[in-house]
Amino acid sequence: MFVLHGIQGFPSSVTADYVPFQIWDTLQGLSTYTRTMLSTQALLSAIGVGEKSATVIGATFQWFLRDLTGMLGGILFTFYQGSNLDSNAKMWRLAADLMNDLGMLMDLISPLFPSAFVIIVCLGSISRSFTGVASGATRAALTQHFALQDNAADISAKEGSQETVATMIGMALGMLVARITIGHPLAIWVCFLSLTLFHMYANYQAVRCLALTSLNPERTTIHLQHFMKTGKVLSPEQVSAKEHVLPLNLTVWSSKNADLLYTKVHLGTRVSSLDNMEIKENLLSAASYYAKAKYLLVERNGTVNVIVHKDSNAADVLKSFVHALILATNVSESKSSHSDSQMWIDKHYNVFIHKLKSLGWKTERLLSPIIWRANWIYKASEKKAD
């Protein structure tokens, strides 16, 4: 059932989390394709397939409107969230499947509300359009993670074949379930909801077993706080067990996870947004601590704003974020903010990065979008920021 051994060099050519992820991913796929048959059957019934009073033009228009709203939803989602998909691949992968569940649920309930049918199916189409964008983008990121020997194309091709097999089996099961439950609304709902619960569980397990080695804001925060306490860094598996995978902080323990310190750092702040004179004075007074850096840190009300220089590279961005986390920690502990944070960076940063590399972490860049960059020139007697 699984097209695993077809990958060249398997298993040494893929990461250790590849097989468990594919198992759970295939199981959730089977659930999806089985439920799709039930939701599509309900949708076609609502459109009027099989009824003499239904017209071809009416059904065509409704289907076209459904697809159109889905396309527009996908464009808007890409515009507002496209830059965040790489940095939070696990969260968006799970969110994508939850949105797909919501879209199919709307298709299933559409016959129950004939007067609001068009609105319901359009909302369901929009929900699924988010799924298409997020799932496609995160799958590309995960494929790159799995590939250990520059074999991303091979892995992607085998995943496509595996998904095709799962689709065919799921469709066959879906037709069987649809035929058995036809004319029995209660049985349809029991089957749909049961498969949906299993689908959500399988997806959660799939993203939970992923041990990504790239650094995003949350994983960097988890590492840094552990390093500051113990002088050691964590393995990808250990960090995976600590980081969030849910779209929202829904669990009781989530507020304790790394204290959400990374939410107190704004990376890539626009200089013109700091229009308060007090903030600009703070910027200039603290600039001496960053004379050799390609970033500036400005703290206000417990939030650290990172102004990134236009010539900064990926390593500079990662260093600026770690520095901002140290500054945010010092502010929360009422320590001398800029001087102490600079001392920590000078003494410990290179050791921190070296230990991350030794455990297989990718320290070349931080997965976080930067919208705004700035330009400034340092002089011996004057610091100027544009």
Whether residue 198 is predicted with pLDDT greater than 90 in this model: the reply is: yes
Query: In the structure, what pLDDT confidence band is assigned to residue 172 with cuts at 50, 70 and 90?
Result: confident
Q: Look up the CATH architecture of domain 18-210.
A: Up-down Bundle (1.20)
How many Cβ atoms sit within 10 Å of the Cβ of residue 385?
Answer: 17
Q: Where are the domains of the chain?
A: 18-210, 215-385
Q: What is the CA radius of gyration of the chain?
A: 25
Tokens standing for 265?
Answer: 């750092």
d(CA 220, CA 222): 5
Whether residue 197 is predicted with pLDDT greater than 80 in this model: the reply is: yes
- Mean pLDDT is highest, among 149-153, 312-316, 379-383, for 312-316
d(CA 223, CA 66): 45
How many Cβ atoms sit within 10 Å of the Cβ of residue 223?
Answer: 25
Q: Name which of 160-164, 184-188, 207-211, 307-311 the model is least confident about.
A: 160-164
Q: What does the pLDDT average to over 67-74? A: 80
Q: What does the pLDDT average to over 165-180? A: 85
Please say whether the beta carbons of 297 and 304 come within 8 A: yes
d(CA 335, CA 343): 12
Whether residue 383 is predicted with pLDDT greater than 50 in this model: the reply is: no
Q: Name which of 210-224, 236-250, 318-332 the model is least confident about.
A: 236-250
The DSSP 8-state label assigned to residue 231 in this structure reads S
Tokens standing for 71?
Answer: 């396309």
Nearest residue to 90 (alpha-carbon basis) of 233, 231, 254, 219: 219
HEC profile for 272-324? HHCCCHHHHHHHHHHHHHHCCCCEEEEEECCEEEEEEECCCCHHHHHHHHHHH
On average, the pLDDT of the chain sits at: 81
d(CA 256, CA 260): 7
The DSSP 8-state label assigned to residue 168 in this structure reads H
- More confident position, 305 or 283: 305
Global pTM reads: 0.82
Whether residue 107 is predicted with pLDDT greater than 80 in this model: the reply is: yes
How many Cβ atoms sit within 10 Å of the Cβ of residue 356?
Answer: 21
- More confident position, 246 or 374: 374
Residues in a beta bridge with 304: 265, 299
Whether residue 290 is predicted with pLDDT greater than 80 in this model: the reply is: no
Whether residue 1 is predicted with pLDDT greater than 50 in this model: the reply is: no
Whether residue 148 is predicted with pLDDT greater than 60 in this model: the reply is: yes
d(CA 149, CA 145): 11
Listed in sequence order, the DSSP H helices in 147-184 are: 152-181
Interval 203-221: pLDDT, tens: 999 999 999 999 999 999 9
Query: In the structure, what pLDDT confidence band is assigned to residue 253 with cuts at 50, 70 and 90?
Result: very low
Each residue of 255-274: b (16+ CB within 10 Å) or e? eebbeebbebbbbbbebeeb
Only one residue has tokens 């009027």, namely: 48
Q: What does the pLDDT average to over 1-21? A: 70
Look at residue 257 in the predicted model and tell me its pLDDT.
46
